[in-house]
Every structure is written in C-alpha cells, then in structure tokens.
Amino acid sequence: MDKKCNNIPELLCKKMTGTITQEEMEVLQQWADQNEANKQAYEQFTDVRFLEKQLNTALEVDTHQPRMEMEERIKASALQNTNNIRPAHTIGRTLFKYAAAIALLLVGGAMAWYAHYTKVTAPEISPDVKLAMQQSRESGKTDAVIEKLSASEMAQLKEGMAVDNGTMLPSEPAVTSDANTEENGHGAAKTKGQPVSITPMTIEQLLSARRVTTRHDKEFWLTLDDGTLVHINYNTRLIYPEQFGRSDRNVVLDGEAYFMVAKDKSRPFVVHTPQGSVKVYGTEFVVNTRAEASPNTATGTQSETTSVILVKGSVGVTPLGGKEMMMKPGEQGMMTNGHCYAEAVDVVPFVAWNIGNFVFEDCSLEKLMGVVSKWYNCEVRFENDRAKSKKFTGELDRYSNIGPILESIEQVTGFDIGFRGNTITVR
C-alpha cells in the first residue's frame, strides 16, 4: 500500500470538508476499493446523508433546553452513530476515532448554523421612541386593559365563520364608540367582531392568548414573548399569545399599531387583520385596520380597508382569498375586498404618532377636531359651518396640554377657537 494510505483518516476529513485534492482523492478511492470493510467505512463517512442525520438530530432538540444539555444530547447521538461501525483492523480503529471526531465537528457546525438561524435579535429602540414612551407615561396617556379571553370568546375564535375559513375576532366590552362600534345601551360601546383569516394551528396557539385594549384617549407599549415591541394606538385591540410557537409568531389586530419586530429567521411574524395578513421576519411597520379607501366604483360605498406602512425591512401582504404581495420600505400597502396594491408614500405622516406627534397634511378642520376631541376626551361644537372645510397642514405635539394645541390650530386656520368646561367651540 502507498505510504499515503497511512493517512486515510486525514483524507476522509478533507473529503467531508471539501478540501481534498485530486491526487489525494485518487489515493482515498484506491484504499476504499481494497476490501469491503474499507468500502463500507468510506461510504459511511463521506455520504452526505450522515451529515443530514446529525443535522436532523440537532433540529429535533428542544431549543428551550439549556445550551449545555442540548450539546451533550447531540454529542451522545453522534457517538452512538459512530459506534455502529466495527473496525476490522488497525487502520479501521484509527478511522473510528477520526470519524467520531468528524461527526462531532459536523454536528458542531450544524449546531452553530442552527443557533444562527434561530437566533432572536431584539429590535433597536431609537432615542425618539424612548422619549415618546417617557412623555406618554408622564402625561397619563399610557394605559390599557389586559385580560385573558373568556371561554365563550375562545369558542368564538375557534368556531367562528368568515370568508376563506377565517374566524371572527372576539369583541370586547367598554370601548368608546366610533365608526366600527354600536351602542350597548349603557353609554359605552361594544365593538363588533371582525372576520380574520386564521389557520387551525394559529387558533390553537391563541387559545391561551391575552387581549390588550386601549380606549379612545390612551395608548400602550407592549413587549411580546420574543422581544418584539408593539406601540398600540388609541381605540385598538391586540390579541397575542403569552408564548409564541416554535414555527411562527401570530397576533390579531383590530385598530392601529406600530410593530418593531424582533428578528427571527426561523419564525415568521404574522399580523392577522380583517382584510388579510402581514408576514414579516424582523422589521418596522404600521398596520391600521380602519384606513380610508377610495369609494367602491361599482357600489358607491366605502370599503373596509387595512393599510400597511413599511418603514424598513420587507413584508408580505396577503389579502383574504388573494395572493401575497411583497412591499418595499417607503411604500403603503392597501388591502380591501380581497385585493391589494402598493404605492410609494411619505411615511412621516403615518408614523409620526409613534414618536409623539400628530402630522396633518391638507386635513379638514372638522376631521382634525375629531382626532383632537377623542384624544383629549372632549366635545367639539362648530358655530361656523364654513370652518369645517378649512384645510390644515402642520404638526402637533401629541403629549402637549390641549391649550397650546388649540392655540396652534387657531393661528394656522384664522378661526376663533375657545375651550370651556369640556367643550371646544369653533367660531
């Protein structure tokens, strides 16, 4: 036998790692052809299936185990596999030792790859967002009701019927009335259930979920199980599991929220809405299930629309019964009636509320006052109908007292605006 045959374990290692030369490959093949034992050993330790077997072992390990325990379990599995080969002679015994080392090396590489693939990276919170969180708390605007879904709501979530085998988003009591609510006879309002497309697997994940609800004059920051930070705007509901599953992360939204999603390549983050779903892996975006849409040209009616504003990263938007549409940063995606489209927009007016500002562009005074009245929990009275259509463009401090806010609006519009008791009067 050629002298180089004494170094067969090293050549096997080179073959498995892809660093073997043509000359060395010929020597290795010559050795493998000498007898059946050599051939079996060669096939065992150069077959990619061996690597796949070790990788599958790594993937089956419960990632919630302590890392040391996980490593020991995988190494034990690798050694068990190498023990199945019985060397027939001295070089075989040497090969066994190298093969065991190679197996552990491969499994270590698989573990490193798997650890990188399943790594969860919390989102970076900008100084502006941190300041907004502080100002919101100090101004008394941070508040929400967090509760577990009742048994009847669980049944509603699991057995409800909607388009495309979706289900109904459970309604919650005591939310101030708006376009999506109906009076319950006690002065408060009860939001109607909204259909959302949810798979049976997602439903099972949400059966131990909680619901966070904000009123018309409050907001809330919520940190989810994976580190994702959600800024929940006023008059909004979010259903989320206490612990996400191992294959995906699902939440249900009715209202508006800014998502700063933790990066996790192995588990997509999905926001389910009445008009479809938004799927991401780690990015920042805004979802508003009550966005304004153009009137339906066929019926002349206003369609319910979900808006998605992509700040950075990449998301896929899938309307109910439709196909996924990928979005780019700086785009607004609209989902309505099973269709979706995207267009480039200035994202600033849509995301300014996340850092404590109201931004209005060519907005009617009537609509602007509607926002102000809800946020500051007061009434608005127009004594001058002409003032309703007056346009306003500007930026207002979301956490300022109402006095400076009304003064700013008065200066821009030229109308006399007074505030007495709990009523704003526009003359």
φ and ψ of 172, to 5 deg: -130, 155
8 Å CB contact between 302 and 296: yes
- pLDDT score recorded for residue 254: 92
8 Å CB contact between 156 and 170: yes
Within 13 Å, how many C-alpha atoms sit on residue 231's CB side? 21
Nearest-Å Rg of the Cα atoms of the chain is: 30
Q: Is 38 exposed, middle or buried (0-12, 13-18, 19+ CB in 10 A)?
A: buried
CA 165 – CA 126 distance, rounded (Å): 39
**Three-class secondary structure of residue 2 per DSSP:** coil
- pLDDT score recorded for residue 185: 30
pLDDT along the chain (427 residues), means of 10: 58 72 85 78 65 53 52 54 48 54 56 55 90 94 90 63 38 38 32 49 68 94 94 94 85 94 88 90 88 50 80 91 91 92 91 91 91 91 90 91 91 90 90
- pLDDT score recorded for residue 186: 29
CA 423 – CA 265 distance, rounded (Å): 51
- pLDDT score recorded for residue 200: 58
CA 167 – CA 156 distance, rounded (Å): 8
φ and ψ of 236, to 5 deg: -135, 150
- pLDDT score recorded for residue 93: 53
Contacts of 290 (CB under 8 A, 6+ apart): 179, 180, 255, 256, 304, 305
For 212-222, b where at least 16 C-beta lie within 10 A, e where not — what string? bbbbbbbbbbb
314, amino acid identity: S
Helix pair angle (90-117, 8-17), 10° resolution: 20
- pLDDT score recorded for residue 267: 87
8 Å CB contact between 289 and 253: yes
For 257-284, b where at least 16 C-beta lie within 10 A, e where not — what string? bbbbbbbbebbbbbbbbbbbbbbbbbbb
Q: What is the 3-state secondary structure (H, E, C) of 309-350?
A: EEEECCEEEEECCCCCEEECCCEEEEEECCEEEEEECCCHHH
φ and ψ of 92, to 5 deg: -65, -40
DSSP state of 47: -
Q: DSSP readout, 137-165?
A: HHTT-B--EEEEPPHHHHHHHHH---GGG
- List the beta bridge partners of residue 380: 424
- pLDDT score recorded for residue 33: 84
